[in-house]
Amino acid sequence: MPQILDILTCPLCGGTLEGIEKSLVCTGGTKKHNYDVAKEGYVNLLPPGKGKNAHTGDEAEMIRARSRFLQTGAYDGLSDEVSRLIARHISADSVTLVDSGCGEGYHTRRIAVKLRDLHGRRVLCAAFDASKHGAASGAKAAFRETLAPKAGAATPFSGDTSVYFFAGNIFSLPIRDTSCEVAVSMFAPIAWEENRRVLKDGGVLVVAASGRDHLREMREIIYDEVITKSPEILPADGFTLVDRTSVRYTHTLGSAEEIADLFGMTPFCYKTPPEAAKRLLSMKSLAVTVHTEFFVFGKAL
């Protein structure tokens, strides 16, 4: 089973990273490239200076809303399905997984735990998000859930399943070529080329995207006209579609807070007219359809 430092690379020069005290130190380039482990346990691997122009990730409040909402278990069926698909398509006992656009990593941690507890796998997971808030929140929870050491990525973790969080750009992943069995992309932009580069031969990319009826009831309250569209994700060069499933169930939002959190974590909250938002936010409960489509793409040889 590889350790996290076996698969990471320096985002500036591609060199090997070593854990020295509370930093990851690049041993590759002529200049010293150092990345400190933040107090929450994540490491910022966004190249210095590039963060300004790059997508800077979801705002802290959106992350908090998503965190509170996901902790209700409303979307657990979605990470259950991703872990089931990984177990179905990957037979290795030890699975190295990269999650691109992990948010605060609720699903990432659940996928790792499900693979361990239900499917008997050991998992090394590296999760990346452009948002430092997301990476920080993920790392704190990974430590609480004994999926990572307190010092984060600088210290090797003795557990057989570990999840490490990084602030990073998924279109330029600081991960070694052909080092992962699995890449995961849930409700995030798909970095096809980078995912292909980091996958081993026989590896899979698992993508989750909102289905046509996802949150239909909420959309009916806030929009005059609801446009429904099924996600059609065609494989980019170097991938073939090997599996496709969907998950659909009804979840009842049981309080105004839960409705506000779900609304606050979706892009709807930016484009809803104030009157419509008020209508939704005055409700005390609402049953919504959770509908997600899953695509498994195999790395073509």
CB of 172 to Zn ion, least distance (A): 13
Amino acid at 179: S
103 touches ligand SAM by CB under 6 A: yes
Instruction: Choose the binding region for Zn ion from 20-28, 72-80, 158-166, 273-281 (rule: CB under 5 A).
Output: 20-28
CB of 120 to ligand SAM, least distance (A): 25
169 touches ligand SAM by CB under 6 A: yes
Tokens of 68: 């509170």
The entry of ligand SAM, Zn ion, none that residue 2 binds, CB within 5 to 8 Å by partner kind: none
Residues whose CB is less than 8 angstroms from the CB of residue 180 and which lie 6 or more positions away in sequence, other chains included: 7, 96, 97, 98, 198, 199, 200, 203
Q: Please say which residue, 55 or 200, places its beta carbon nearer to ligand SAM.
A: 55
290 touches Zn ion by CB under 5 A: no
| In contact, 45 and 168? CB cutoff 8 Å | yes
29 touches Zn ion by CB under 5 A: yes
CB of 15 to Zn ion, least distance (A): 4
Point out the residue whose Cβ comes nearest to ligand SAM: 103
CA quadruple 45, 179, 80, 214: dihedral sign = positive
The entry of ligand SAM, Zn ion, none that residue 239 binds, CB within 5 to 8 Å by partner kind: none
| In contact, 293 and 229? CB cutoff 8 Å | no
CB of 301 to ligand SAM, least distance (A): 27
Strand 34-36 to 23-26 pairing: antiparallel
33 touches Zn ion by CB under 5 A: yes
Instruction: Choose the binding region for ligand SAM from 88-96, 122-130, 143-151, 289-297 (rule: CB under 6 A).
Output: 122-130
Among 82, 97, 130, 147, binds ligand SAM (CB under 6 A): 130
x/- site string to ligand SAM, residues 133 to 162, per CB under 6 A?
-x----------------------------
102 touches ligand SAM by CB under 6 A: yes
* Residue in this structure with the two tokens 């959770």, named with its chain if needed: 290
47 touches Zn ion by CB under 5 A: no
- DSSP annotation string for 36-100: EBPTTS-EE-SPTTGGGTS---S-HHHHHHHHHHHTTTTTHHHHHHHHHHHHHH---SEEEEEEE
- DSSP annotation string for 168-216: --TTS--B-TT-EEEEEEESS---HHHHHHHEEEEEEEEEEEE-TTTTH
Residues whose CB is less than 8 angstroms from the CB of residue 266 and which lie 6 or more positions away in sequence, other chains included: 215
58 touches ligand SAM by CB under 6 A: yes
Residues whose CB is less than 8 angstroms from the CB of residue 294 and which lie 6 or more positions away in sequence, other chains included: 81, 82, 85, 206, 207, 208, 243, 244, 245, 246, 247
170 touches ligand SAM by CB under 6 A: yes
At 241, which helix (H) or strand (E)?
strand 239-253
Among 5, 6, 12, 16, binds Zn ion (CB under 5 A): 12
Binding site for ligand SAM (CB under 6 A): 55, 57-58, 66, 101-103, 107, 128-131, 134, 169-171, 186-189
Binding site for Zn ion (CB under 5 A): 10, 12-13, 15, 26, 28-29, 33
